[in-house]
Amino acid sequence: MATVSQSAAPWRTHTVFNQPPPLEGVDVFTSHTALVEGVQREGAGWVLERASELGRLIGGEPQQQWGRLANENKPILRTHDRYGNRIDEVEFHPAWHKLMTLGVEHELHSLPWTSEEPFAHTARAALYMTAMQAEAGFCCPITMTFAAIPALRAQPELAAEWEPLLTATSYDQRLIEASEKGSAIAGMAMTEKQGGSDVRANTTVARALNGGGAGAEYELHGHKWFCSAPMSDVFLVLAQTDEGVSCFLLPRILPDGSRNEFHIQRLKDKLGNHSNASSEIELHGAWARMLGEPGRGVPTIIEMVGHTRLDCVIGAAAGMRSGVASATHHAAYRQAFGKTLIDQPLMRNVLADLCVESEATTALAMRLARAYDEAHADAEEGENDTDAQLFKRLATAVGKYWTCKRAPNHAFESLECFGGNGYVEESGMPRLYREAPLASIWEGSGNVMSLDVLRALTRAPRALEVFLEEVREAQGADARLDERVGELESQFSDPQTLETRARRVVESMALCLQGSLLVRHAPAAVADAFCASRLGGEGGLEYGTLPADSDFEAIIARSLPDVDR
Ligand SMILES: Cc1cc2nc3c(=O)[nH]c(=O)nc-3n(C[C@H](O)[C@H](O)[C@H](O)COP(=O)(O)OP(=O)(O)OC[C@H]3O[C@@H](n4cnc5c(N)ncnc54)[C@H](O)[C@@H]3O)c2cc1C
């Protein structure tokens, strides 16, 4: 039989060259220098070894396989079984369950609530930022489970029942009674068709079964327009009672083992976040128990919302770090016009600018996480309105607005560093890009966050002084920062136009805080480039517009992932 020799095969037209090696097997934590420094600086150095172990794990299969598989194989809604019985189940790819198992076993959902170590929020932030670089979608239920705990504690008997389950370190995907599994995942359902930001417009109603009141049983009727991770075991839900909007704890499986009247209408066909299911649900007399006082639903659930906003900031830092690691790695190998891209002057500007943004976001996220540690410690001492609590409240809103707004364009520029390859799914960059706008919308869209900053200042005017005190810790170190801080103070002088100017004001607050953190803690090259471009008017509207005398090499070297070269 005649054979065609390999070398003569018609598809062997060329040798593949000038393509980078895959970015594999990297310790995602240790190679993130700004994060390693941040976690030590903010008090949780004890987690370094553990974070590095997680970093090595993430750089393997989770980053190389699981994230992609979980996104390519979207969750499927099964409303009925084959006999026509309503089941309301969502089927996920095994990679999703692997990611969930990883998240729960590494205590991304629980560490601050169970650890005896100091600065456990800060430690968790480092672990979460590392793990999210494998895939963002699974972090949604992980975050909601983490964030449910402080809200749950409003009702001690419900906390006694659910907190051990929600902080357990095993994951069980089965839709059975949580007490039988010994663990649980939490979701939240606030948003309705007629309004999400304005939850007081909710039409879902709750009817008391035995008199009502805090901890009592109710029956919920109505719908929710967005309910992510609908296979979670328990949800915090807002519904109207005679006293106003109230918060409820609603399990998917009832105490007798039967299914609650929680029905999934359909799954959203989303821009990104494809691994995760986001659903529309109907509650046909679903059984629930009131969490907190009647009519106090918003203040009760806001405890949860606040902690999810912290994770939006950490998540923005994770996305930017992914982008920077991928872009710098690609540019370190790819040649064009006779030079490696990383050595082309204009590409160096783009890469360095992306690195500076990533560093600023990481520094802010880690400082914010420490504020959560300090604020919780004060609350445990029975103290209210302490400096740490005021800073946490204000900096969460400022940080969520700004870092989440910066993320999409950062992802786009990182993608563009790959040229055409970046627009192709296999590079992983389209997934990063599609995910990027979500955190800005979820849990308080841009305007809502800006207005939340003003609300926080109206409720506690001293918060501004506490915030500025933190910023002023860098006073005298950089004239551009000092000048912007001076301008910032004057931006509050015309209250009548403050709402219209809110985005501008919050942007200035965020830049001053980031500038102060970098001036105090980052290498001079990073801090100088930040202050020149973001505070001193020497930058443009796009990335790649740092002043020509920036120390590009030093800035990029810190962010380039450490692989054998
Ligand atoms: C993928 C995904 C998953 C989600 N998962 C969940 C979930 O699990 N549970 C849940 O409850 N919700 C969830 N949401 C809903 C999300 O939290 C809401 O979409 C968000 O809070 C905005 O609410 P809305 O969509 O009703 O928009 P609206 O409230 O109508 O806001 C529309 C726009 O108007 C702006 N705006 C609102 N008020 C003002 C004002 N006073 N001044 C100026 N501008 C204003 C907003 O900033 C926004 O840009 C999810 C959303 C997405 C995209």
Q: Which H, E and C letters describe 98-136, residue by residue? A: HHHHHHHHCCCCCHHHHCCCCCHHHHHHHHHHHHCCCCC
Q: Match 């770090």 to its residue by tokens.
A: 321
- Residue 283 CA to ligand 1 centre (angstroms): 21
Q: Calculate the alpha carbon distances from 115 to 103, 308, 499 in Å.
A: 16, 19, 41
What is the mean pLDDT, run by run of 10 residues, along the chain of 565 residues? 49 90 95 98 98 98 97 98 97 98 98 98 98 98 98 97 98 97 98 95 97 98 98 98 98 96 98 98 98 97 97 98 98 97 98 98 98 97 97 98 98 98 97 98 97 97 98 98 96 94 98 98 98 98 98 97 68
- Residue 188 CA to ligand 1 centre (angstroms): 14
- For ligand 1, pick from 227, 247, 445 the residue to mutate: most ligand atoms within 8 Å of CB: 445
Kindly report the protein residue whose alpha carbon is nearest to atom 30 of ligand 1.
195
Kindly report the protein residue whose alpha carbon is nearest to atom 48 of ligand 1.
445
- Residue 370 CA to ligand 1 centre (angstroms): 28
- Residue 319 CA to ligand 1 centre (angstroms): 21
- For ligand 1, pick from 197, 199, 401 the residue to mutate: most ligand atoms within 8 Å of CB: 197
β-bridge partners, 223: 282
Gap between the Cα atoms of 554 and 562, Å rounded: 15
- Residue 223 CA to ligand 1 centre (angstroms): 16
| pLDDT of res. 260 | 98
Tokens, residue 182: 């010994």
| pLDDT of res. 562 | 77
Atom of ligand 1 nearest to the CA of 195: 26
- Residue 162 CA to ligand 1 centre (angstroms): 28
CB 516 within 8 A of CB 481: yes
Tokens, residue 310: 């912290």
Atom of ligand 1 nearest to the CA of 190: 11
- Residue 444 CA to ligand 1 centre (angstroms): 6
Read off the pTM.
0.97
| pLDDT of res. 5 | 45
- Residue 76 CA to ligand 1 centre (angstroms): 24
Closest-CA residue to 51 (of 25, 68, 31, 23): 31
| pLDDT of res. 10 | 64
Q: Calculate the alpha carbon distances from 427 to 216, 220, 565 in Å.
A: 52, 45, 20
| pLDDT of res. 3 | 44
- Residue 202 CA to ligand 1 centre (angstroms): 13
Atom of ligand 1 nearest to the CA of 449: 47
| pLDDT of res. 564 | 52
Gap between the Cα atoms of 404 and 466, Å rounded: 23
Atom of ligand 1 nearest to the CA of 189: 11
Angle at 471 between CA 486 and CA 311, to 5 degrees: 130
Pocket of ligand 1 (CB under 6 A): 187-191, 195-198, 226-228, 270, 273, 278, 438, 441-443, 445-448, 451
- Residue 204 CA to ligand 1 centre (angstroms): 17
- Residue 268 CA to ligand 1 centre (angstroms): 14
Kindly report the protein residue whose alpha carbon is nearest to atom 26 of ligand 1.
196
- Helix/strand/coil percent split, the chain, to 5: 55, 15, 35
Atom of ligand 1 nearest to the CA of 448: 47
Gap between the Cα atoms of 450 and 462, Å rounded: 18
Atom of ligand 1 nearest to the CA of 446: 47
Gap between the Cα atoms of 486 and 500, Å rounded: 21
Core vs surface per residue 466-496: b (16+ CB within 10 A) or e = bbbebbeebeeebebbbebbeebeeeeeeee
- What's at 564, amino acid-wise? D
- For ligand 1, pick from 448, 454, 498 the residue to mutate: most ligand atoms within 8 Å of CB: 448
| pLDDT of res. 365 | 99
Atom of ligand 1 nearest to the CA of 228: 8
- Residue 443 CA to ligand 1 centre (angstroms): 7
Kindly report the protein residue whose alpha carbon is nearest to atom 44 of ligand 1.
447
Tokens, residue 374: 């300090």
| pLDDT of res. 8 | 52
Atom of ligand 1 nearest to the CA of 444: 21
Residues 6+ apart with CB under 8 A from 256: none
Kindly report the protein residue whose alpha carbon is nearest to atom 49 of ligand 1.
445
- For ligand 1, pick from 274, 441, 455 the residue to mutate: most ligand atoms within 8 Å of CB: 441
- Residue 13 CA to ligand 1 centre (angstroms): 52
